[in-house]
Structures are given as structure tokens and as C-alpha cells.
Amino acid sequence: MQFFDSHTHATFAAFEKDSKEVIDRALATGVWIVNVGTQKDTSKRAVEVAREYNEGVYAAVGIHPVHTSKSYHDEDELGGGEAARAFTSRGEEFNHEYYLELARDPKVVAIGECGLDYYRLEQRANSKEQIERQKEVFIKHIELAHEVRKPLMIHCRSAFPNLVETLKAYRLKLNAHAPGIVHFFSGTISDAKKLLDMGFSFTFGGVITFAREYDEVIKMLPLERIFSETDAPYVAPAPHRGKRNEPAYVVEVVKKLAELKGVSVEEMAGITFENAKRVFRL
């Protein structure tokens, strides 16, 4: 059986000591992966790692919305040292040339993760400016994706109405083959339907193995628009909950998707694998 972890971070600091083993373990389990960048260093790293493999390891490049402003420090992502800590205080400007060069690499299969995240903004005095900045940077990713004809890898949290509005406004710039994937989808059925109408797909991770609020939307979505992911090192699926997540665990996600869609695990593995190959053009 072949599986696809369409959104993972096996190149983050949490895998500093064993990134190669973790990736090789995924490949040995039949799992292909897309390592997703979240700012300029993790994006570059994802591309470098993808180049080391003939097939099965790919990259996405972009700026996560929380990195468009001064953000909290996540050691699993950036590591602990002083240089890593300094990184979080700056917020990143979108450097078009830098990302364009990475985006043109044949191993880069999507642009992101990019999008809108209002989840952590609520208590901030300058949240209005941050919302504006997130939107500006997101639009630059839409334009880059258009330029290189690759799909978007979208992160959206507590911001679905604005996400849909922005994508609608830039509809003509969306990739006709496949506009993109909304990762770790946490919106409503109505949000999902609007995104479906625009051609988007959806990827689900470990949370669906232990939380039931995703069942309804998964049951509603057509099979050809469902992807599997781990978002490792975060949110490991049952029975690995509480541990560091890794790409090989995507098998548990596919099992749950199969159960919810009423198909066999074999079928679901095939469907999520082929969906990823189609959208990522592999």
C-alpha cells in the first residue's frame, strides 16, 4: 500500500537529530511526503532535503501567517539556541525573488504554508495591522503560485470568511489545474462548500482520530478532494497521542478516513495517494 503525507515538517528542529531516519522510515512504510516550509529558512531546508531523494520527498515553500509579524517562539519548529530565538522577534517580509527561486525547483510541489491565522490575535492591541499584513503576504503567495503554476498550501485558522473573500477576489489568479489544498481544515460545512466550489481540496491529520467535530465535513466531501497529512511534529494520531508525530503515522489518519467514508483502508490509501499525485503533478 502507498500513502501520502501531504503536509508535514520532518525538517523542523524537532527532528534535528533524526530527520533522515524519520524520512527513511516513512518511505519504508510506503509513505511519500511533502515537507512544508513556514518561513525562509525552513522553506530552503525543505527544498534541500527534497533534492536528496529521487522520488517520494517533496517540498512546499512560503511564510506561515504567524511569521508575518513578531510571533511566539516554537522550539519544535525553530530550535532552542539564541539565533533561533532572535528569529521570532523580527517577523518576515515576503522576498519575492527568494521565494521565486525556491518555487521554481521541480521538487517544489506547492506554495505555502500561507494563509490567515487570527487564532492568536485576539488579545493583541495591534491585531488590525497584523490582519492587514497577513492578507498582504497571503496575496503575494497567490501571485507567486500563479507565476509558477503550482497549487497553494493553505493554513487557515479562525479566519474562514476572510479566506474565502480573498480567494474569490483573486479567483483569476488561481491555478486552473488545482488551486490548492486547505490543510488541517477546521472550518464549517458551509466554508468547505464554498472552497469546494472554487476547486480546493482538503487535508486532514491526526486530530480526526480522536476528535469527532471533523466527521461531518469529511463525510460530505467528495473522495477526490480528500488528502491525508500528519503536520508532524504536531498533533500525533491515536494511538501515538502525546508523542512527537512523524510522517509514518499518516497510516492511522488514512484508517480513520476509510472508516468515515465507508471504504477499505486499501482504497482510501490509493485515493489519497492518487489525489496527491494528481494535484502535486507527480
Binding region for Zn ion (CB under 5 A):
231
- Give the residue with the Cβ less far from Zn ion, 62 or 179: 62
- Give the residue with the Cβ less far from Zn ion, 115 or 258: 115
Please tell me the distance from the alpha carbon of residue 193 to that of residue 200, in angstroms, as a whole number: 9
Residue nearest to Zn ion (CB): 231
- Give the residue with the Cβ less far from Zn ion, 182 or 258: 182
Closest distance between Zn ion and the C-beta of residue 248, in Å? Answer: 17
Handedness of CA 29, 260, 245, 203 (dihedral sign): positive
Closest CA to 26 of 58, 48, 51, 64: 58
Residues in Cβ contact with 219 at an 8 Å cutoff, skipping those fewer than 6 apart: 260, 261
Closest distance between Zn ion and the C-beta of residue 70, in Å? Answer: 20
- Give the residue with the Cβ less far from Zn ion, 5 or 231: 231
- Give the residue with the Cβ less far from Zn ion, 26 or 258: 26
- Give the residue with the Cβ less far from Zn ion, 258 or 272: 272
Say if CB 219 and CB 261 are below 8 A apart.
Answer: yes
Closest distance between Zn ion and the C-beta of residue 231, in Å? Answer: 5
Closest distance between Zn ion and the C-beta of residue 17, in Å? Answer: 20
Handedness of CA 23, 53, 155, 211 (dihedral sign): negative
Cell representation of residue 273: 495517494
Closest CA to 100 of 58, 67, 68, 145: 145
Q: What is the DSSP letter of 163?
A: H
- Give the residue with the Cβ less far from Zn ion, 74 or 267: 74
Please tell me the distance from the alpha carbon of residue 245 to that of residue 5, in angstroms, as a whole number: 12
The count of residues in the chain is: 282
- Give the residue with the Cβ less far from Zn ion, 231 or 246: 231
The burial class, CB within 10 Å (0-12 / 13-18 / 19+), for 150 is buried
Closest CA to 215 of 159, 150, 280, 259: 259
Closest distance between Zn ion and the C-beta of residue 184, in Å? Answer: 7
Handedness of CA 255, 189, 6, 238 (dihedral sign): negative
Closest distance between Zn ion and the C-beta of residue 63, in Å? Answer: 12
Closest distance between Zn ion and the C-beta of residue 160, in Å? Answer: 17
Closest distance between Zn ion and the C-beta of residue 245, in Å? Answer: 11
